[in-house]
Amino acid sequence: MPEIILEAFNLDYSYPDGTKALRTINLKIEKGEKLTILGSNGAGKSTLFMQFNGLYRPNSGSIKYQGQAISYKNKPLIELRKKVGIVFQDPDSQLFSSSVYQDISFGPLNLGLSDQEVEARVDQALIDTETTDLEYKPTHLLSYGQKKRVSIAGVLAMEPEVIIFDEPTAGLDPRHAREFMQLLKNLSDEGKTIIISTHDVDLAYSWSDRLVIMSSGEIIAQGEPGELFLQPELIEQADLALPWLLEIYCGLVEKGWFPTSTPLPKTREELLLILPLASMNISPIPKDSK
Amino acid sequence: MINIDSYAYSNHLKKIHPGEKSLFAMITLAVCLTSPTVITPLIVLALMAGLIIFKAGIPGRVFLKLLLVPFSFLVLSVLTIAFSISTDPSGFWIAETINGLTIGIRYPDLNTAAQLFLRSLGAVSCLYFLALTTPMTEIITVLHKLRVPVIITELMLLIYRFIFVFMETAITIKRAQSSRLGYVSLKISYRSLSRLFSALLGKVFVKSQELYNAMAARCYTGEIKVLTKKYPVNLRNYLLIIGLELPLILINLLGRR
């Protein structure tokens, strides 16, 4: 039985104006897993994230860290936030200092580490997010993608156990999005638990161990990405789309290029691997048409 | 103002310890302000202009433009000191008497005016030196080390950052309004501008809440602790500061007699 690191139990939350943001959320997150939360705008993803490190307090139900319901007193809350880090969607609301270096050092200093240790962590975070050359630049002269990477560095430097990324690849160009995925892979290999929210179905399908689909404040499905994406009514209900890999796969199965028992390809490489060579099969183009 | 800010991050003196630059600017400022003659302010002005243009690599054009900012204000105030009106026509250096009233310049007044003018310009050039070569964040760190109350340095840090966030937001809103003809006539301009301000005010509250959340998520407990990249301390620079200030102080002392 894998260890459950974070859990939402019967969580209900309304905004002060009465809008129901989360309805009876039950979610168990296993240590070291790669979890994606998919959902359209306003589905409650960000609100749920704020619950996970105690920024918002549920109306009923609870958040459990390693099986213990979290306390909202100052000290335990800080202990929780050392373990659960969030990278917010808008880097402008996360970066409070005009100096890249200062901003990244803020989190680790709050952990009570020595200056030398903080310096080492900041330098490492700068390397991991490829922001070393931005060190001397003020945050207001950075591009959106650069700010995003700096805000990621600010959380990485705290070395939390669980890292939550709210729409991490939104606003990143393809190269940096790819590098960010590599960074996620490295973090995952180190044993970190990673939760991301996204609209990018391709990313959600290829990267995650497990998928959670949210719609209007509720979890409408959770399970293996392959299983969930093959339920058209579910995808429809959550305003999502099919990943291109699955679309091609389904098309190829339908046209008889390979049997229905073929395992779902997780990546482009896997798809290309199972794709039979044209000469070994009956070509779909009639030969006598010349 | 925004120009000054970007030069602060890109000039050739940015790698020099901010403490050394601040010390130099402040001592020179004090020496310039306490000078009894016009010689020291002139030397200070030349020194700062040389450092800013040749050492820091800031275009002379930019520095001149910046000096022109306080110039008009200075000229006006200096003129009021230089000119005097009196019923007694004696003692004037240049004067015009109309209906028994004499308007003109007295020699000692002219001297005071010239001194004041140069002293202010010299002092302003010292501040420009600091502003053009040292990023605001570094100045705040220096203030923090000088034990300026934390509440002031923290506010400076946040205000400085948010000037740019709000300016960006305001520019975006303005652009969106202009593209829909929001500033086509005076009346419409007023209306658009008032909407811009109210939209901005709303954003201030949202942004400050978001910022607080984001800081709380990184274990913020009420005190903003940050590390600043360390700059090498250069003994040569301290010797240089002493070497430059001592003669200036001497000139001041000699001028006092």
CATH of the domain at A180: 3.40.50.300
Q: Return the pLDDT at A10.
A: 92
Considering only the beta carbons, identify the residue of A99, A106, A115 that sits closest to B218: A106
Please state the three-class secondary structure of chain B as a single string. Answer: CHHHHHHHHHCCCCCCCHHHHHHHHHHHHHHHHCCCCCHHHHHHHHHHHHHHHHHCCCCHHHHHHHHHHHHHHHHHHHHHHHEEEECCCCCCCEEEEECCEEEEECHHHHHHHHHHHHHHHHHHHHHHHHHHHCCHHHHHHHHHHCCCCHHHHHHHHHHHHHHHHHHHHHHHHHHHHHHCCCCCCHHHHHHHHHHHHHHHHHHHHHHHHHHHHHHHHCCCCCCCCCCCCCCCCCHHHHHHHHHHHHHHHHHHHHHHC
- Whether B157 sits inside 8 A of A97 (CB atoms) is yes
* Number of residues assigned to chain A: 290
Distance between CA atoms of residues B245 and A125, nearest Å: 43
Task: Using a CB–CB cutoff of 8 Å, tell me whether B214 touches chain A.
Answer: yes
Same domain, A16 and A75: yes
Q: Which of B160, B226, B231 would you mutate first to test chain A, the one with the most A CBs within 10 A?
A: B226
Tell me if A221 is assigned to some domain: yes
Q: Which residues of B touch A122 (CB under 8 A)?
A: 227
Q: Return the pLDDT at A212.
A: 94
Q: What is the pLDDT of residues A133-177, one digit of tens each?
A: 988 888 888 988 899 999 999 999 999 999 999 998 887 888 888
- Whether B218 sits inside 8 A of A101 (CB atoms) is no
Domain locations along chain B: 2-134+230-256, 143-217
The Cβ of residue A269 has, within 10 Å, a number of other Cβ atoms equal to 8
Total structural domains within chain A: 2
pLDDT < 50: residue spans in chain A: 287, 289-290
Q: Where are the beta strands (DSSP E) in A18-119?
A: 20-30, 34-39, 60-65, 68-69, 84-87
Average pLDDT over every residue of B238-242: 91
B103 pairs with which residues across the strands?
B85, B96
Question: Is the model's pLDDT at B246 over the cut of 60?
Answer: yes
Q: Return the pLDDT at A64.
A: 92
Tell me if A43 is assigned to some domain: yes
- Whether A96 sits inside 8 A of B227 (CB atoms) is no
CA distance B217 to chain A (A): 6
Task: Using a CB–CB cutoff of 8 Å, tell me whether A115 touches chain B.
Answer: yes
**Could you tell me the strand order of the sheet in which B83-86 lies?**
B83-86, B101-105, B94-98
- Expressed as residue numbers, the domain containing A42 is 4-91+161-242
Q: What is the pLDDT of residues A240-251, one digit of tens each?
A: 888 888 888 888
Average pLDDT, chain B: 88
DSSP for residue A115: H
Q: Return the pLDDT at A290.
A: 43
CA distance B64 to chain A (A): 25
User: Does residue B62 contact residue B140 with C-beta atoms inside 8 Å?
Assistant: no
Portion 38-67 of B in contact with A at CB < 8 A? none
Sorting pLDDT into bands at 50, 70 and 90, what band is B257?
low
Take residue A17 and report the two structure tokens written for it: 């104006």
Q: Which residues of B touch A88 (CB under 8 A)?
A: 210, 213-214, 217
Same domain, A238 and A250: no
Q: Which of B227, B228, B231 would you mutate first to test chain A, the one with the most A CBs within 10 A?
A: B227
Take residue A90 and report the two structure tokens written for it: 């808008």
Q: Return the pLDDT at A1.
A: 67
Q: Return the pLDDT at A261.
A: 80
Tell me if A111 is assigned to some domain: no
CA distance B211 to chain A (A): 5
Q: Which of B168, B218, B220 would you mutate first to test chain A, the one with the most A CBs within 10 A?
A: B218
State how beta strands B83-86 and A218-223 pair.
unpaired
- Whether B218 sits inside 8 A of A90 (CB atoms) is no
Tell me if A101 is assigned to some domain: no
Task: Using a CB–CB cutoff of 8 Å, tell me whether B4 touches chain A.
Answer: no
Considering only the beta carbons, identify the residue of B14, B211, B218 that sits closest to A93: B211
Task: Using a CB–CB cutoff of 8 Å, tell me whether B160 touches chain A.
Answer: yes
Tell me if A96 is assigned to some domain: no
Q: Which residues of A touch B221 (CB under 8 A)?
A: 74, 78, 110
Residue whose pair of structure tokens reads 């009021």 in the numeric block:
B80
Take residue A123 and report the two structure tokens written for it: 């330098």
Same domain, A222 and A268: no
Residue of A nearest to B223 (CA): A110
3-state class percentages of chain A: helix first, strand second, coil last, to nearest 5 = 45, 20, 35
- How many CB contacts within 8 angstroms connect chain A with chain B? 111
Considering only the beta carbons, identify the residue of B9, B219, B227 that sits closest to A137: B9
DSSP for residue A279: G
Tell me if A211 is assigned to some domain: yes
Give the ipTM.
0.80
- Whether B216 sits inside 8 A of A55 (CB atoms) is yes
Instruction: Return phi, psi of residue B94, to 5°.
Output: -125, 130
Task: Using a CB–CB cutoff of 8 Å, tell me whether B210 touches chain A.
Answer: yes
Task: Using a CB–CB cutoff of 8 Å, tell me whether A92 touches chain B.
Answer: yes
Question: Is the model's pLDDT at B38 over the cut of 90?
Answer: no
Q: Return the pLDDT at B98.
A: 82
DSSP for residue A277: P
What's CA A16's distance to the chain center, in Å?
Answer: 27
Take residue A156 and report the two structure tokens written for it: 């990485």
DSSP H/E element including A163: strand A162-166
Q: Return the pLDDT at A88.
A: 92
Distance between CA atoms of residues A130 and A150, nearest Å: 9
Same domain, A174 and A196: yes
Tell me if A49 is assigned to some domain: yes
Distance between CA atoms of residues A156 and A85, nearest Å: 8
CA distance A30 to chain B (A): 21
CA distance B155 to chain A (A): 11
CA distance A55 to chain B (A): 7
Q: What is the pLDDT of residues B85-102, one digit of tens each?
A: 888 777 777 778 888 888
Q: What is the pLDDT of residues B103-159, one digit of tens each?
A: 888 888 888 888 899 999 999 999 999 999 998 888 998 999 999 999 999 999 888
